[in-house]
Chains A and B, each alone.
Chain A
Amino acid sequence: MTSALDALPVTQMPPDGHYGPAGKHGVTARIFDPPALATLAARHGAGAALSAAARVELGLDLADAPRLSRANGLTAIGTGPGRWFLLAEAPEDLPAHLAALAPHAAITEQTDAMVGFELSGPHVRDLLAKGVTVDLDPSVFPPGAAATSNVAHINTSFWREPGDERFVFLAGRSYAVAFARFLVASGAAFGLELVHRG
């Protein structure tokens, strides 16, 4: 029950546009489909071999931590011990691309599983404070930091992009509208611009 949500049905993605007081532009949310996404889970005792293979084959430093590593158009996001999301910059057959890692890891196609939300703007952390239970202060959650956590009853994985105040969230596709509603409910006070990207 939020004035910004009153007229929006829970069954449809809120339309692109401005939510909140005219003239206020606190947060921009870009909703996107990941070009290609997979989960990578190290096989039993194969963590070291997997890291080595990732370094050799992909030039990617797979940190076993909730952090971002990025190389050659691939971003790895640590989601659990020995587990990562691998996100590609452009559409591709990720399991095929990652085939060299297959001896050391279970690779699972997830391109359609998640919807991305890229959030930026001067009030992005004020908005996120309304749902994220992780401290996002740059001293604690610097660029490149990642987390998997529940936000407003919705499980998400997210990270902070290098550079300006920019965060990317991945939410399960069935929850995409619900997550967008959280953004509208929490962001309208600061002025929220919702746009679909690609």
Chain B
Amino acid sequence: MRYSFLSLLKNGLTGQAGWKPAWRDAAPKPAYDVIIVGGGGHGLATAFYLASEHGIRNIAVIEKGHIGSGNAGRNTTIIRSNYLLPGNEPFYEWSMKLWEGLEQALNYNAMVSQRGILNLYHSDAQRDAYARRGNAMRLAGADSELLDREGVRAMYPFLDFDNARFPIQGGLAQRRGGTARHDAVVWGYARAADQLGVDIVQNCEVTGFISEGDAIVGVETSRGAIRAKKVGLAVAGSSSRVAKQAGLRLPMESHVLQAFVSEGLKPVVDGVITFGAGHFYISQSDKGGLVFGGDIDGYNSYAQRGNLPVVEDVAESGMALMPRIGRLRLLRMWGGIMDMSMDGSPIIDRTPRPGLYLNSGWCYGGFKATPASGWCFAHLLATDAPHATGTAFKLDRFRTGHLIDEKGVGAQPNLH
């Protein structure tokens, strides 16, 4: 069923009785052309683009819980393409372009909202680093603006300009950045993929792989064996666990990242602001809650919950940046398990096991990548060649030394 003004009117007049499930709750078939493991945003987007761009429709997305129950529903909803390095920036800019047409592509309002993102700088060295980044963005065809202190003040006069420990000197703005409604992205991709014939199989956990020699030819699951010509993993923080079942050790650690939302308020923050003198980023949802976050807790974890020191650090940074938020209340905090790669950048590549493909290493930036991640992974699965914007995301780059280390902190995932 297409969503249209007419369908809304009709259902409004008939007591909302005519709606159908947004996607079928499919049972697994014995075999598919492609199985995507992981029913988060990346997995569902992959299935959608495989079906819509490559004409492969005999696909299952299998998910151990319900779709969107992992990081897709636990992030701070920020979209942006303000990366630095040539391995990353064209990919994220492609993602941004896909965001810009997403709702029409999916016939689903994911509330993609380009109200801008502003990264603040507090020193000359940081300004230079942001200039380098802003110029790199321009080279990749993205938009960027370097603002001085007064430029920032004009956008957000309520930031602490007068008494700050690390005075705001300016910011790098990307006006096309913003937010999207994270759950709606999941639901939109699921619904659109389903309409193209993709089976979305929930409560179906991978317990092993079916091999023929070196090759992977399917998965064992809690709902039985399912064969496939190709299996793609898009399981974020569970990557190491699932890959281990195929005998692979990954350049990856799983870490917990906390996120926070405040009580609903009348509009305070229009776009996304990130603090440059601490770990803090904030935006305001359309419902009115301030959505914010900070650094990962910094230790390996699969527990989907973090601890107070990071909560305090986030609040200290928030108060240092915006001292008017002191009386606002934190409503909910939660944790997601991040697939922290060893250089802080993702992997979209074939694996040493023929038939098994990997999409992982999103660190805590996976949400914004959702469309391009799906696009590039679909391209790889369909053609066995990397998409032009994702050629650097190789699994063997750690062996060859072609690292994509945006932060320059080296092989220490908790610092990326």
Residues of A within 8 A of B (CB): 1, 10
How far apart are B312's CB and chain A's nearest CB, in angstroms?
11
What residues on B are CB-neighbors of A1 within 8 Å?
163, 323
How far apart are B277's CB and chain A's nearest CB, in angstroms?
14
Contact with A along B147-178 (1 / 0, CB 8 A): 00000000000000001010000000000000
A10 to B163 CA separation, bound complex (whole angstroms) = 11
How far apart are B394's CB and chain A's nearest CB, in angstroms?
40
A10 to B166 CA separation, bound complex (whole angstroms) = 13
What residue in chain A is nearest B323 (Cβ atoms)? Answer: A1
What residues on A are CB-neighbors of B163 within 8 Å?
1
* 3 closest residue pairs by CB, A with B: A1-B323, A1-B163, A10-B165
Residues of B within 8 A of A (CB): 163, 165, 323
What residues on A are CB-neighbors of B165 within 8 Å?
10
A28 to B163 CA separation, bound complex (whole angstroms) = 29
What residue in chain A is nearest B319 (Cβ atoms)? Answer: A1
Total of A-B residue pairs, C-beta within 8 Å:
3
How far apart are B326's CB and chain A's nearest CB, in angstroms?
9
3 A-B residue pairs with Cβ-Cβ distance under 8 Å, sorted by A, are A1-B163, A1-B323, A10-B165
How far apart are B158's CB and chain A's nearest CB, in angstroms?
15
A79 to B272 CA separation, bound complex (whole angstroms) = 45
How far apart are B122's CB and chain A's nearest CB, in angstroms?
16
A1 to B319 CA separation, bound complex (whole angstroms) = 10
A10 to B165 CA separation, bound complex (whole angstroms) = 9
A1 to B323 CA separation, bound complex (whole angstroms) = 10
How far apart are A20's CB and chain B's nearest CB, in angstroms?
22
A1 to B165 CA separation, bound complex (whole angstroms) = 11
What residue in chain A is nearest B165 (Cβ atoms)? Answer: A10
A169 to B231 CA separation, bound complex (whole angstroms) = 60
A181 to B323 CA separation, bound complex (whole angstroms) = 20
How far apart are B172's CB and chain A's nearest CB, in angstroms?
27
How far apart are A18's CB and chain B's nearest CB, in angstroms?
25
How far apart are B368's CB and chain A's nearest CB, in angstroms?
32
What residues on B are CB-neighbors of A10 within 8 Å?
165
What residue in chain A is nearest B320 (Cβ atoms)? Answer: A1
A165 to B367 CA separation, bound complex (whole angstroms) = 54
A46 to B165 CA separation, bound complex (whole angstroms) = 45
How far apart are B33's CB and chain A's nearest CB, in angstroms?
56
What residue in chain B is nearest A6 (Cβ atoms)? Answer: B163
What residues on A are CB-neighbors of B323 within 8 Å?
1
How far apart are B173's CB and chain A's nearest CB, in angstroms?
28
A32 to B323 CA separation, bound complex (whole angstroms) = 35
How far apart are B298's CB and chain A's nearest CB, in angstroms?
15
A10 to B323 CA separation, bound complex (whole angstroms) = 18
What residue in chain B is nearest A153 (Cβ atoms)? Answer: B316
How far apart are A31's CB and chain B's nearest CB, in angstroms?
23
A1 to B163 CA separation, bound complex (whole angstroms) = 10
What residue in chain B is nearest A1 (Cβ atoms)? Answer: B323
A80 to B388 CA separation, bound complex (whole angstroms) = 54
What residue in chain A is nearest B316 (Cβ atoms)? Answer: A153
What residue in chain A is nearest B326 (Cβ atoms)? Answer: A1
A186 to B165 CA separation, bound complex (whole angstroms) = 19
What residue in chain B is nearest A10 (Cβ atoms)? Answer: B165
How far apart are A131's CB and chain B's nearest CB, in angstroms?
13
What residue in chain A is nearest B163 (Cβ atoms)? Answer: A1
How far apart are B365's CB and chain A's nearest CB, in angstroms?
28
How far apart are A195's CB and chain B's nearest CB, in angstroms?
28
A123 to B163 CA separation, bound complex (whole angstroms) = 31
A177 to B405 CA separation, bound complex (whole angstroms) = 37
How far apart are B181's CB and chain A's nearest CB, in angstroms?
35
